[in-house]
Structure 1
Amino acid sequence: MTVQRLPAAGLTAAPRSMPDGQGRGLRRRTSLPRLALLLALTTALGGCVVVGPDYQKPNLSLPTKWGSGTASKPSKPPELSQWWRRLGDPMLDELVNEAVAGNLDVASAKASIREARASYRQTVGALFPSANGSAGADRGKSGGYVSNQFQAGLDASWELDLFGGNKRAVEAARYGMDAAEEELRATLLTLIGDVATNYVSARGYQARITLAKRTAASQRETAAITRNKFEAGGATAADVATAEGQASSTEAGIPSLEAAYAETVHRLSVLTGRAPSALVDRMKAPKPVPAPRLPIPTGIPADVLTARPDVRLAEAQYASATAKIGQAEAARYPSASLTGNIGTSGAKLGDLGKGSSISWSFGPSLTVPIFNAGQLKAAVEVTQAQRDQSFIAYQAAVLSALEDVENAIVALAQERIRSGKLASAARSYAEANRLASTLFQAGSSSFLDVLTAERSLYSASDARIESRVAIATDYIALNKALGGGWDGAIDSSRPVIVDKRTGPHLARP
């Protein structure tokens, strides 16, 4: 690579004396035509070279279908828009909207976008000239004579982007802005998944608590019947103790379920940006565990490259790291800038605009790195290593996304099979419990058969509720893995903190 030098003919030195001795020793370094020529040449030079590698989208080899799928042809594209609405629970829909509006992680991610956009504008500003004005006034006394002195001036400079270092910085900042936006989308995806998961868990705990209380009450009735039979001589004291112990054992599990339910409600409240107890009253009335409409289309593995915000985030970070190589590479080459200033002074304000009081200068400067003990070359190698790490992180994000989808497909399919078996078991145990109770009351069966049937029915019914929760949770996990997040409008242009009169606090929509 060659560096073009500015022609010496563009610079002249012609001393000119100014009236009243002002501006003595200043030189007009170039005439206006040559000044225009110099500016044109340096501008053309600044736009001809951009060093460093250009970003190219990675070309990854991906499978054509999901390995866990049973279909012989690829599935239809996933339906990710507002996927949580297909759980059929209006309260869940409301909580998702409230979480998007009030969650603190979302507010932080929106502030990060504003920071990235401001950094981008700041970096773009380095491509343009800068100018600074100055003014001053002095009043003094010397030899009994009081005098005034007024000054005004303007300084301007422009760093010519000879080898595209500033352009690469702008490119990196633009990708950084993309990364901040993808970070917000990833935060929203995680948030919606967490809200849905905790809501489903809360409804599951409510159902299990109701089942446990109903079962304990039934077992208390069985214990009372057993005591009556014991008093009538139809049962033993051991039967009475065993019946009461089983009822107490079922009741002992209720506090743990109540605690777990409270934790999920508290988590839901915090996810919406509220105090932990904010949703306690609102969630108090039990509702069924949401049941998704199944099966759902999963598309092809390549879809995750465009649908998953964490994958797009990793790609934007890789692109930004690539641009920073050129930024570091440009620092190894010469840099040029144009500087100029104009100043005027006078004993009165009216003298500032007079030609006799005006002085100015203009000229280019060139800086060439000669010896820096390999620091600049090492800086390039640092950015190259960071680029390599970013590319590896991108590949890891893709593989992790594929793994998430494969795991979610398997988990959902197997849980549906398990749920069907549990439903069949619950029906069988319910019939066994009915028959055992009838035979015991008729004196045709032992009390042990009754206790065993009650215990088995409770376990099967509780497991069935847990399975319904697991199916909904796996459905949520699959939509998250496929990249289903928030696709509505998010305003990240305004500050999230209001600091007027009442002190800093979050702005509420």
Structure 2
Amino acid sequence: MVLLTAVSGCTAWAPSVPPSAPTLLAIDVPAGWSAAEAAGAGTRGVGGESLVTWWQSFDDPLMADLVGRALRSNTSVASAQAALRQAQGLRDVAAAALRPTLGGSASAQRGTAGGASTGNRFQLGLDAQWVPDVFGARRDALDAGEAVAAASAASLGDVQVQVAASVASSYLLLRAVQARRAIASDNLANQQETWQITDWRQQAGLVTVLEVEQARAAAAQTQALLPVLQTSIDQTLHALAVLVGQPPAALRTELGTVSNAMPDTLPIPRGDLVLMLDIPADTLRQRADVQAAEYQVAAALARVGQAEAQRWPSFAIGGSLGWSAISMAALTNGASVLGSLLASVRLPVFDGGTAHAQVQVQQAALEQAQQAYRAAVLGALKDVENALVALRGDRLRLASLRMAADAAGNAARLARQRYSSGLVDFQTVLETQRNQFATQDGVVGARADLGNDQVRLFTALGGGWRRVDAQQAAAR
């Protein structure tokens, strides 16, 4: 099938589908990932089972449960399963065309003429036919059907990968927005307390109305953010419910709310699996979409062979055996037996170029399948590199934001204490509170982004499906 040939500085990639003929397609695959070391990942293989069920590494039972429910009940998964059964049925139709056919018939006739009976006629018959696959057209059709069934099984795996990733990403988004809402509520409480203190100080003549209005405006701005965050929470809940095959409001009670507003203790899952990456060639073998594209090339190649074979003569052998008598008892008489044997050959002499055009059609389809396969390989390499780069950047960003959040929290606390004692002006309090809110919110966003980077990396590495399961499904 498709062969990825190694060149200088590259690794040879052997496809899982044995080649039926050379396809003249070469793709350069790098020997390693350029951003692996920077992202804190090794270059050995990720454990097979841990990669298949990568969502377990987030150590969140509810996330794992939601992924499992989605893989069982998601509508896209069910549709892909139906497509696989359809492909298996078409493959079985192609397999049946290689076998002889046998049919039977029976009839009873009673005739009259001028009101008088002309007699009865009883007939039994058997008809058999076999079309020898001399030039392999039907064998090629079966090969194409088997490749399409395997591609459908791999496509089912790809759908499962995408559904698991969508559930995990939506769950991370939900927890992040819930955490942001909790932080906003906590900061709103602090701002309202500051507003009250400012109002008391204004009544005592220590500050002006300006400071009171500034404190009121800051609290109102934070208050206005809460409905926006709640809307996002509700919409994410609806998306999660649909992903697991339930009505939009079904998970509202189950997923609950968040009450802890400390950024580093908010329930935003993080993957704890130590990333030990496979080399790129092994990663390509794990990707369901690459496998599906590879099988599509095999199917297109078989269809080219089928079109070529149809340009040659076809043969058929048929026969019939029948019994015909005027009574049921006479059917057992040897004289009632009728038999025939027929051998035929069909030779295309002139078809106006139809057969040749069919070959060209299938060759063009093969070229399209090859390019789709090449795009799948390059896309897979890009997905891993992008995920590694994002993982590296978000880890650095999270570390800086944590330091900023700690400093901003200390500054806000000190500013409030000194403002209560009249040692600093209100503008200092207002600025430190804004910084505290922004940095705490930034920590939550960075943690969610880091979790999504891990989801994307596991998905890019081909996690979420088992190739052996796909092969068993395609063979059914």
- Residue equivalent to 2:289: 310
Report the Cα offset of residue 183 of structure 1.
0.8
Corresponding position: 1:463 with 2:442 = yes
Corresponding position: 1:347 with 2:314 = no
Corresponding position: 1:108 with 2:79 = yes
Query: Does the CA-based 8 Å contact 2:109-2:120 persist in structure 1?
Result: yes
Distance 1:310 1:415, change over 3 A: same
Report the Cα offset of residue 465 of structure 1.
0.4
Give the counterpart letter for 1:68 in structure 2: A
Distance 1:294 1:129, change over 3 A: closer
How many angstroms apart in 1 are the aligned matches of 2:197 and 2:437? 19
Q: What are the residue-to-residue correspondences of 1:362-441 with 2, within 5 Å?
A: 362-441=341-420
Report the Cα offset of residue 344 of structure 1.
1.4
Distance 1:91 1:74, change over 3 A: closer
How many angstroms apart in 2 are the aligned matches of 1:368 and 1:251? 83
Report the Cα offset of residue 100 of structure 1.
1.1
- Residue equivalent to 2:70: 99
| SS of match in other structure, 1:336 | strand
Report the Cα offset of residue 101 of structure 1.
1.1
How many angstroms apart in 1 are the aligned matches of 2:106 and 2:29? 65
Aligned residues: 442
Report the Cα offset of residue 353 of structure 1.
2.4
Deviations 1:188-217 (A, max 9, x none): 000100111000110111100000011111
| SS of match in other structure, 1:253 | helix
- Residue equivalent to 1:503: none
Report the Cα offset of residue 285 of structure 1.
3.4
How many angstroms apart in 2 are the aligned matches of 1:137 and 1:475? 74
Q: What are the residue-to-residue correspondences of 1:351-362 with 2, within 5 Å?
A: 351-362=330-341
Report the Cα offset of residue 121 of structure 1.
1.0
How many angstroms apart in 2 are the aligned matches of 1:294 and 1:171? 40
How many angstroms apart in 2 are the aligned matches of 1:207 and 1:54? 56
Report the Cα offset of residue 314 of structure 1.
0.2
Query: Does the CA-based 8 Å contact 1:311-1:394 persist in structure 2?
Result: yes
Give the greater-gyration-radius structure (CA): 1
- Point out the more displaced range, 481-490 or 170-179: 481-490
Q: In the alignment, which of 207, 231, 238 is matched to residue 235 of structure 1?
A: 207
Deviations 1:42-88 (A, max 9, x none): xxxxxxxxxxx924586543111101123799611123131111111
Q: In the alignment, which of 53, 58, 65 is matched to residue 32 of structure 2?
A: 65
Report the Cα offset of residue 355 of structure 1.
1.4
Q: In the alignment, which of 112, 127, 133 is matched to residue 141 of structure 1?
A: 112
Report the Cα offset of residue 349 of structure 1.
0.7
Report the Cα offset of residue 479 of structure 1.
0.2
How many angstroms apart in 2 are the aligned matches of 1:257 and 1:435? 29
Query: Does the CA-based 8 Å contact 1:182-1:309 persist in structure 2?
Result: yes
How many angstroms apart in 2 are the aligned matches of 1:74 and 1:276? 41
- Residue equivalent to 2:10: none
How many angstroms apart in 1 are the aligned matches of 2:254 and 2:71? 18
Corresponding position: 1:83 with 2:44 = no
Q: Over aligned residues, Cα RMSD in angstroms? A: 2.0
How many angstroms apart in 1 are the aligned matches of 2:193 and 2:111? 107
Deviations 1:280-338 (A, max 9, x none): 11011336000222651122111222100000000000000000001001111100100
Report the Cα offset of residue 109 of structure 1.
1.0
- Residue equivalent to 2:164: 192
| SS of match in other structure, 1:139 | strand
Query: Does the CA-based 8 Å contact 1:102-1:272 persist in structure 2?
Result: yes
How many angstroms apart in 2 are the aligned matches of 1:365 and 1:353? 31
Considering fraction of residues, name the structure with more helix: 2
Q: TM-score, normalised by structure 1?
A: 0.84
- Residue equivalent to 1:54: 20
Q: What are the residue-to-residue correspondences of 1:170-181 with 2, within 5 Å?
A: 170-181=142-153
- Residue equivalent to 2:187: 215
Give the counterpart letter for 1:65 in structure 2: G
How many angstroms apart in 2 are the aligned matches of 1:310 and 1:55? 22
How many angstroms apart in 1 are the aligned matches of 2:21 and 2:84? 22
Q: TM-score, normalised by structure 2?
A: 0.89
How many angstroms apart in 2 are the aligned matches of 1:443 and 1:213? 27
| SS of match in other structure, 1:78 | coil
Corresponding position: 1:323 with 2:307 = no
| SS of match in other structure, 1:340 | strand
Query: Does the CA-based 8 Å contact 2:153-2:473 persist in structure 1?
Result: no
How many angstroms apart in 1 are the aligned matches of 2:189 and 2:42? 51
- Residue equivalent to 1:272: 244
- Residue equivalent to 1:34: none
| SS of match in other structure, 2:390 | helix
| SS of match in other structure, 1:343 | strand
How many angstroms apart in 2 are the aligned matches of 1:55 and 1:100? 37
How many angstroms apart in 1 are the aligned matches of 2:321 and 2:351? 35
Q: In the alignment, which of 317, 327, 333 is matched to residue 312 of structure 2?
A: 333
- Residue equivalent to 2:89: 118
Give the counterpart letter for 1:142 in structure 2: A
How many angstroms apart in 2 are the aligned matches of 1:161 and 1:383? 20
- Residue equivalent to 2:7: none
| SS of match in other structure, 1:483 | coil
| SS of match in other structure, 1:138 | strand
Report the Cα offset of residue 253 of structure 1.
1.0
Query: Does the CA-based 8 Å contact 2:55-2:64 persist in structure 1?
Result: yes
Report the Cα offset of residue 260 of structure 1.
1.0
Distance 1:414 1:295, change over 3 A: farther
